[in-house]
Structure 1
Amino acid sequence: MKQEYYLGIDIGGTKCAVIAGTENMEILERIQFDTNTNKGPDYAISKLLEIATAVVKQLNDYELISIGISCGGPLDSKTGIVQSPPNLPGWDNIPICGLLKYKFNVPVFLQNDANACALAEWKFGAGKGTDNMIFLTFGTGLGAGLILDGKLYAGTNDLAGEIGHIRLDEDGPEAYGKKGSFEGFCSGAGIARMAQAMVIEKLEKGESVSFCESIETVRNITTKDVAMAAAEGDETAIAAFEKSAKYLGIGLSILIDVLNPQRIVIGSVYARNPHLFDAVCNSVIEKEALEPAWKVCEIVPAELGDKVGDFASLSVAIDGISRTN
Structure 2
Amino acid sequence: MIDNTSSNVPKDLYIGIDIGGTKCAVVLGDKDFNLYEKIFFETKVERGPEVIINEFKKNIHSFFEKYDRKRFIKIGVSCGGPLNSKKGLIKSPPNLPGWDDIPIVQILEKEFGIDTTIQNDANAGAIAEWMLGAGKGTDNMAFLTFGTGMGAGLILNGKIYSGTNDLGGEVGHLRLAQTGPIGFGKAGSFEGFCSGSGIAQLAKSTVKIKLENNQEVNFCSTLNEIDTITAKTVFNAAHKGDAVALGIVKITAEYLGKGLALLIDILNPECIVIGSIYTRNEALLKPLVYEVLKKEAIPEALEVCTIVPAKLGDKIGDYAALGVALH
- Residue 323 of structure 1: aligned partner: none
Instruction: Tell me, yes or no, if the aligned pair for 1:81 and 1:94 is still in contact at 8 Å.
Output: yes
Aligned with 1:199 (options 204, 207, 215):
207
State how far apart, in whole Å, the 2-side matches of 1:35 and 1:247 are. 34
Cα deviation, 1:213-258, whole Å, max 9, x if unaligned, reads 2111101111111111000000111111110000001011111000
Name the counterpart of 1:273.
281
Q: Which amino acid is the alignment partner of residue 280 of structure 1? A: L
Does the residue aligned with 2:137 lie in a helix, a strand or coil?
A: coil
Deviation at 1:60, TM superposition (A): 2.5
- Which residue in 1 is equivalent to 2:93? 85
Moved more, 272-281 or 52-61: 52-61
Partner of 1:245: 253
Please name the residue that 1:139 is paired with. Answer: 147
Partner of 2:313: 305
Query: Displacement, 1:46?
Result: 0.9
Deviations 1:85-136 (A, max 9, x none): 1100000000101111111111101000000000000000000110000000
Question: Structure 1 residue 202: deviation in Å?
Answer: 1.3
Alignment of 1:54-69 (within 5 A): 54-60=62-68, 63-69=71-77
Q: TM-score, normalised by structure 2?
A: 0.96
**Matched position secondary structure for 1:3:** coil
From 28, 33, 40, the equivalent of 1:25 is 33
Q: TM-score, normalised by structure 1?
A: 0.96
Q: Secondary structure at the match of 2:308?
A: strand
Is the CA contact (8 Å cut-off) linking 2:199 and 2:231 kept in structure 1?
A: yes
CA deviations over 1:26-56 (Å, ceiling 9, x no partner): 1110000111111111111111111111123
Alpha-carbon distance, 1:14 to partner: 0.6
Which amino acid is the alignment partner of residue 24 of structure 1? D
Structure 1 residue matching 2:324: 3-state secondary structure = helix
Partner Cα separation in structure 1 for residue 211 and residue 95 of structure 2: 34
1:146 positional shift: 0.2
Within a 5 Å distance, the mapping from 1:22-171 to structure 2 comes to: 22-60=30-68, 63-171=71-179
State the 1:62 CA deviation. 7.0
Matched, 1:214 2:215: no
Give the match for residue 13 of structure 1.
21
Q: C-alpha displacement at 1:61, in angstroms?
A: 7.5
How far apart are 1:3 and its partner, in Å? 1.1
Q: What is the CA-CA distance between 1:177 and the residue it aligns to?
A: 1.8
Residues 147 and 277, structure 2, Cα contact 8 Å, conserved in 1: yes
Task: Please tell me whether the aligned partners of residues 114 and 135 of structure 1 are also in contact (alpha carbons under 8 angstroms).
Answer: yes
Taking only the aligned residue pairs, the percentage that are identical comes to 52
Tell me which amino acid in the other structure corresponds to 2:79: C
SS of the residue 1:108 aligns to:
strand
* 1:283-298 matched pairs, under 5 angstroms: 283-298=291-306
Residue 59 of structure 1, CA deviation = 2.1
- The separation in 2 between residues aligned to 1:103 and 1:188, in whole angstroms, is 38
3-state SS, counterpart of residue 17 of structure 1 = strand
**Runs of 4 or more above 3 Å deviation:** none
Instruction: Indicate the residue corresponding to 1:181 in structure 2.
Output: 189
CA distance in 2, matches of 1:69, 1:177: 27
> Is the 1:101–1:108 Cα contact (8 Å) retained in structure 2?
yes
Distance 1:23 1:56 in 2: 18
The residue that corresponds to 2:3 in the other structure is none
Which residue identity is paired with 1:248? Answer: L
Q: How many residue pairs are counted as aligned between the two chains?
A: 319
Matched-pair contact (CA < 8 Å) for 2:10–2:30: no
Structure 2: where are the runs of 5+ without partners?
1-8
| Maintained 8 Å contact 1:18/1:31 | yes
For residue 317 of structure 1, what is the aligned residue in structure 2? 325
SS at match of 2:27: strand
Gapped regions of structure 1 (runs ≥ 5): 320-325
Residue type of the partner of 2:143? F
> 1:76 Cα shift?
0.5
Aligned partners of 1:2 and 1:61 also within 8 Å = no
8 Å contact 1:133–1:146 — kept in the other structure? yes
Say if 2:148 and 2:197, in contact at 8 Å, map to a contact too. Answer: yes
Q: Name the SS of the counterpart of 2:136 in structure 1.
A: coil
Query: What is the distance in 1 between the residues matched to 2:10 and 2:252?
Result: 51
